[in-house]
Structure 1
Amino acid sequence: MTLPYGLRALSYANFRRFIAGQGCAQIGNWQQLITTSWLAYTLSGSTLLVGVAAFALQIPMLLVAPLAGPMLDRFEARRILLMTNTVACVQSLAMLSLLWLDVMDVWHIVAGNLVLGIINAIDAPGRQALVSEMVDRADDLPNAIALNSIMMSAARFIGPMLAGYTIGWFGHVGAFCANATLRVAVIAALGAVRTIAAVRPVLSVSWWHSFAQGLNHARAYVPCRNGLLLLACLSFTIQTHASLMPWFVRERFHADAAALGNLMGMAGLGALAGLAYLATRRGLAGLIRAAMHSSIVAALATLGLCVAPGIGFAMAMLFLIGMGTILTSASINTVLQLTAPSGMRARIATLYVVAFMGVSPLGALFWGWVAAYLSAPIALAICGIGYLMASLAYRTGLPRMSAAVLQEN
């Protein structure tokens, strides 16, 4: 059976199994984020504590992920992913037990998020690195990366809505039960993947020196350096909207958890719409410029979200935020993966994860504190203005970045 050009990576059985399993994992992650955010706000009524819970979930991306890159370049990524998802399943069952026994408190949420954050900090770069082992032809790798990004965006669309409706119909216990079930599906999919053992370099240097080699490569390669800086700004500012949305839903829109799930799902739908064209691309040309344009869209939409008078307008703004965010990250990720030296791909993937996911907990904690003392709309407005300035600064480097990418292509 001949697949359309935009779906060509799905012709590989291993990639089909991989993307199905990771889809379940990402739906579970988004479901847990929404469930714990809503539960933390319900128990405490504090945007600061919601920010602390989000901080605990995401800070390991900044502190633990740098150690994961060198490890993944030395060992088989599939086995490591099996291990991390098994531990994630145990974590979900532990949270489910606390809720079932009706002893859940905010500190349990923070501790559980910290455990899951450590797991994700190892899992995320492993996931990025394993994509390159799922296809045989280098020409199919951009399509595999794009389809992997589409899968993550689909999970971002499905996960929050699933969490909202699950909480509404079955309560928080049902949400954590569903998450544990999804983890079992991930483990089964990874167990079915068969990869050829890659020849991995024998590194005599320390893990820190190995990570520093990847850092030096990123610093010397202008598209990589500028892209990672833009992603870090995106993570610190625009990504903060997720932890502030419970305030908007409760205080401005006077709605429930289902509305929160629908709002966050619209960001995922926007991401899906934005990624549709990436799956059909035949090269790197234009990706740098696309990252700049989508960044400006995300910044302006964030400013629009601050003044949203109702859920309908907020959904439209979140659609644009999701589209701009994922187009920026997916464009930069594609450039990084295709231009990274083969023996350094996991370390570059780690830098991507640190920039895109590792900085966001600092933003969630800081802007949660600002929102507690000023207001959530003011905090989000400052984020939008700050990221707009970063996007315009990124624009000044377009000629050098485009020239460097064309040399690699």
Structure 2
Amino acid sequence: MTVKGARASHPLREAPFARLWVSGLLTEIGKWVLQLALPLYVLALTHSPLVTSVVAMLGLLPSFVVAPLAGTLVDRFEQRRFLVAVGMGQAAMLTPLLWVRDAGDLWMIYLVAGSEAILTVAFESVKNVALSTFVDPEQLVGANAAISLNASLGRLVGSPLGGLLLSWAGLHTVLAFAAASFLIASALAWTIPRRATARPTAAENTGFWAGLGETLRTIRYVPTLRGTFICVALLSVAQGMFVVLFLLFVTDLLGGGDAQAGLLRGVQAVGGFLGTVTVGLLTRKLAAPRLLTVGVLTFAAVSAVTWNLSLTSLGFAVYAVLFAAAGVPAVWLAAAWLSLVQQSSPLPLRGRVMACVLGLSDGLQALGMLAAGLLTGVMGTLSALNVQAALLLAAGLLTFRTLPRRLAPAKAPEPASASIGVPGIGPAGRQAS
């Protein structure tokens, strides 16, 4: 079903999207509860920062490896049922942690962390494909902005809640809360009208390797997808660097501690809310390609100013304002690249393309974490932070140079046999060139 209507209402006013949004928010909260609580639990269990970092990395790397398979499943099954199945799987996979007692049971934590990462990329893929099938194209950027806000809200609520539940009531309470979040999200997904989602039948008989090859050719030969893919790659490396460098920025350059670090990460959610509110105003003037450029370049500028102001003796409140400001363009750019992938991908391959982008993002974030550790040993924290800002600048300049100002109107996908020039890519795959 496509949500139609003459009025330009916000997509959250439409019941199918509102249910999908709340389902995604609950999943984000459950994910962040686990991402905060599990490493803390492992650190208390082993007193080993190395083992703790392995658990954190397992939240990213598995999705990089299995994303194409997850995308294949997304393209083959009806989206509503797939959302329900993934949510139930996320809850069920927490069960082994009930038997963790000491460091000898770490393998169960590794298993759960990796499994949750795989299920998360599957959930994100099908969620982003589903909304693109029942939200009008003119509402797509606003819908993606609302979806992007979920990550900020989930982190704002889930991270402190995970720490509180672990310290006050123990791991089992953390697991119960996370499982409840996933199950309620599944129940909400089940209430989405079946007619609101679709199953792309053209991909049902495509083998895994043939489908993967067609997906990679689509990304390579559709200019909008290729440019967006490279932009997301640079953003992901920069984000991975930020995860490590942020803590050093607070402790080494600002002289703060845990409380200050938590506050700065939290105020980004305030900026995320403002980004969601303002994205509608921007889309009246800018199409998704230019919105991506503006979002990335603004994010790069705010980052560079924030890092280099640490050379002065400004008060901590100034940095709180800057971190809140950074949350605004973060939502703009996320909404833009999601919309570009959705609008430029042929429907039968959309799940696979989305999963490939998300898997690549997770893998390159892990690479960025490693790069940050290596750079700080060579050039110091501030110089490494400026490298991170330079990556953001490069991503913004790339989008300005390579992406068209506007996308061509979407066309219905045609069979692979109708392709001209590139096997497996029909005119619908070329519509964004």
- For Structure 1 versus Structure 2, the TM-score category normalised by the shorter chain is 0.7 to 0.9
Query: 2:98 & 2:268 partners in 1: Cα distance?
Result: 27
Query: 1:124 & 1:219 partners in 2: Cα distance?
Result: 22
Q: Aligned with 1:133: secondary structure?
A: helix
In structure 2, the CA distance between the partners of 1:315 and 1:4, relative to structure 1 (3 Å rule), is: farther
The one-letter code sitting in structure 1 at the alignment partner of 2:78 is E
The alpha-carbon deviation at position 226 of structure 1 amounts to: 2.3
Partner of 2:162: 163
Partner of 1:30: 32
Query: Is 1:273–1:323's contact at 8 Å kept on the other side of the alignment?
Result: yes
Query: Is 2:267–2:320's contact at 8 Å kept on the other side of the alignment?
Result: yes
The alpha-carbon deviation at position 337 of structure 1 amounts to: 1.3
In structure 2, the CA distance between the partners of 1:165 and 1:328, relative to structure 1 (3 Å rule), is: same
In structure 2, the CA distance between the partners of 1:332 and 1:190, relative to structure 1 (3 Å rule), is: same
Q: How does 1:61-210 map to 2 (within 5 A)?
A: 61-98=63-100, 108-135=108-135, 137-196=136-195, 197-210=198-211
In structure 2, the CA distance between the partners of 1:181 and 1:203, relative to structure 1 (3 Å rule), is: closer
Query: 1:91 & 1:226 partners in 2: Cα distance?
Result: 36
Q: Which of residues 346, 351, 354 in structure 2 aligns to 1:349?
A: 354
Give a deviation string over 1:303-356, Cα, whole Å, max 9, x none.
359879997566445434544444322221112212322333222212331233
Q: Which of residues 309, 333, 340 in structure 2 aligns to 1:335?
A: 340
In structure 2, the CA distance between the partners of 1:151 and 1:396, relative to structure 1 (3 Å rule), is: closer
* Pairing 1:53–2:55 present: yes
**Greater mean alpha carbon deviation, residues 58-67 or residues 206-215:** 206-215
Q: TM-score, normalised by structure 2?
A: 0.77
Partner of 1:296: 300
Unaligned runs of 5+ in 1: none
Partner of 1:284: 287
The one-letter code sitting in structure 1 at the alignment partner of 2:11 is A
The one-letter code sitting in structure 2 at the alignment partner of 1:241 is F
Partner of 1:212: 213
The alpha-carbon deviation at position 214 of structure 1 amounts to: 2.4
Q: Aligned with 1:405: secondary structure?
A: coil
**Greater mean alpha carbon deviation, residues 8-17 or residues 185-194:** 8-17
Partner of 1:227: 228
Q: Aligned with 2:94: secondary structure?
A: helix
The alpha-carbon deviation at position 177 of structure 1 amounts to: 2.9
Query: 2:269 & 2:209 partners in 1: Cα distance?
Result: 36
The one-letter code sitting in structure 1 at the alignment partner of 2:174 is A
- Give me the identity figure in percent: 21
The alpha-carbon deviation at position 59 of structure 1 amounts to: 0.8
The alpha-carbon deviation at position 193 of structure 1 amounts to: 1.8
Partner of 1:273: 274
In structure 2, the CA distance between the partners of 1:379 and 1:216, relative to structure 1 (3 Å rule), is: farther
Query: 1:358 & 1:189 partners in 2: Cα distance?
Result: 30
The alpha-carbon deviation at position 9 of structure 1 amounts to: 1.4
Query: 1:247 & 1:49 partners in 2: Cα distance?
Result: 20
Query: Is 1:55–1:362's contact at 8 Å kept on the other side of the alignment?
Result: no
Query: 1:288 & 1:247 partners in 2: Cα distance?
Result: 29
Query: 1:305 & 1:238 partners in 2: Cα distance?
Result: 20
The one-letter code sitting in structure 1 at the alignment partner of 2:61 is I
Query: Is 2:64–2:359's contact at 8 Å kept on the other side of the alignment?
Result: yes
Query: 1:381 & 1:111 partners in 2: Cα distance?
Result: 37
Query: 2:51 & 2:319 partners in 1: Cα distance?
Result: 23
Q: Aligned with 1:73: secondary structure?
A: helix
- Count matched residues: 400
Give a deviation string over 1:286-308, Cα, whole Å, max 9, x none.
31322332341364267359879
Query: 2:106 & 2:372 partners in 1: Cα distance?
Result: 19
The alpha-carbon deviation at position 68 of structure 1 amounts to: 1.8
In structure 2, the CA distance between the partners of 1:325 and 1:9, relative to structure 1 (3 Å rule), is: closer
In structure 2, the CA distance between the partners of 1:324 and 1:339, relative to structure 1 (3 Å rule), is: same
The alpha-carbon deviation at position 221 of structure 1 amounts to: 2.9
Query: 1:239 & 1:7 partners in 2: Cα distance?
Result: 36
In structure 2, the CA distance between the partners of 1:253 and 1:16, relative to structure 1 (3 Å rule), is: same
Q: TM-score, normalised by structure 1?
A: 0.81
Give a deviation string over 1:137-196, Cα, whole Å, max 9, x none.
443333322322223332233222333443454455443332122112112112222222
Query: 2:212 & 2:309 partners in 1: Cα distance?
Result: 38
Query: Is 1:34–1:261's contact at 8 Å kept on the other side of the alignment?
Result: no
Query: Is 2:268–2:323's contact at 8 Å kept on the other side of the alignment?
Result: yes
Query: Is 2:293–2:396's contact at 8 Å kept on the other side of the alignment?
Result: no
In structure 2, the CA distance between the partners of 1:378 and 1:194, relative to structure 1 (3 Å rule), is: farther
The alpha-carbon deviation at position 204 of structure 1 amounts to: 4.2
Query: Is 1:238–1:302's contact at 8 Å kept on the other side of the alignment?
Result: no
The alpha-carbon deviation at position 222 of structure 1 amounts to: 2.9
Query: Is 2:296–2:395's contact at 8 Å kept on the other side of the alignment?
Result: no
Query: 1:189 & 1:9 partners in 2: Cα distance?
Result: 17
